[in-house]
Amino acid sequence: MRFDIVTIFPEFFEILDISLLGRARQTGLIELGVYNLRDYTHDRHRTVDDTPYGGGAGMVMKPEPWGEALDEVLSPSADPVVIFPSPAGEVFTQKMARELSAEEHIVFGCGRYEGIDQRVFDHTAERARVRLVSLGDYVLNGGEVAVMAMIEAIGRLVPGVVGNPESLVDESHEDGLLEYPSYTKPASWRGHDVPPILLSGNHGAVDAWRREQQVERTRRVRPDLLAD
Ligand code: 6GU
């Protein structure tokens, strides 16, 4: 799996050298490229934005640097997906992360300011599968934090990245329910006891209890998931 990121804050992604995905990069399971959008400008001030046609507050990212950056990043790829993080996009889900983890090449285009000139999306859609993707119903200053979250969610689903694949099965959202609560030793801590059923050795009863906890927790904090 290859991820490429186009951004005006390339240093932001240095953090990906460490942690789980850092190891996956060392072993070659995941390749990562980070491109500075300003390297594709040609003026002395390395300008990436300008005032909006039609007026209004804020600045809009100019199409030309995006065109040149995407020309370079997309050129070696047979069938890339290009994701533009945007609060105006479809909502990122575990299902989407799983689908994307089967891709060979994902390019992320991080917008800042009030957005990117619409023609960048339209033109890119002529040569790649383009998706606008949102983390949820709130506004971030730019796409960088969203891309970090997406890369972590997608990358850990790439086969071999997470050591024990069984640990991916029982997680929140994998079966449309939230995860059950977990406990480890000691059996009693500061007056709080581990539910006795977990100490019973009865695997059928433990499974049933965990399922019940998942449904109860989901009904309480995320009833919208049960409706789905
Ligand atoms: Cl993907 N980008 C920005 N700028 N804000 C967001 C978002 C993305 N998802 C939620 N809010």
Encoding tokens for residue 188?
């009693």
Pocket test for ligand 1, best of 134, 147, 148, 154 (most atoms within 8 A of CB): 134
How would residue 2 be classed by pLDDT, with cut points 50, 70 and 90? Answer: very high
Given a cut of 90, whether residue 195 has pLDDT beyond it is yes
Q: In angstroms, what is the span from residue 133 Cα to ligand 1's centroid?
A: 8
Ligand 1 atom closest to the Cα of residue 143 is: 2
* 188 three-state secondary structure: strand
* Tens-place pLDDT, residues 168-181: 877 888 889 999 99
Given a cut of 90, whether residue 140 has pLDDT beyond it is yes
Q: Residue 141 corresponds to which amino acid?
A: N
Rounded to whole angstroms, how far apart are CA atoms 93 and 58? 30
* Tens-place pLDDT, residues 92-121: 999 999 999 999 999 999 998 689 999 999
Query: Contact at 8 Å (CB) between 97 and 157?
Result: yes
Q: Please, what is the average pLDDT of the chain?
A: 95
Rounded to whole angstroms, how far apart are CA atoms 133 and 188? 44
Query: Which burial class, exposed, middle or buried, applies to 223 when counting CB atoms under 10 A from its CB (0-12, 13-18, 19+)?
Result: exposed
| CB of 143 sitting under 6 A from ligand 1 | yes
How high is the pLDDT of residue 20? Answer: 66
Contacts with 125 (C-beta within 8 Å, 6 or more apart), sequence order: none
Rounded to whole angstroms, how far apart are CA atoms 73 and 107? 8
| CB of 115 sitting under 6 A from ligand 1 | no
Average pLDDT over residues 161-167: 84
Q: Find the farthest-apart pair of alpha carbons in the chain and give their distance in angstroms, rounded.
A: 71
Rounded to whole angstroms, how far apart are CA atoms 79 and 2? 12
* 160 three-state secondary structure: coil
Q: What residue owns the CA closest to ligand 1's atom 2?
A: 86
Ligand 1 atom closest to the Cα of residue 85 is: 1
| Chain CA centroid to CA 191, Å | 39
Q: In angstroms, what is the span from residue 92 Cα to ligand 1's centroid?
A: 10
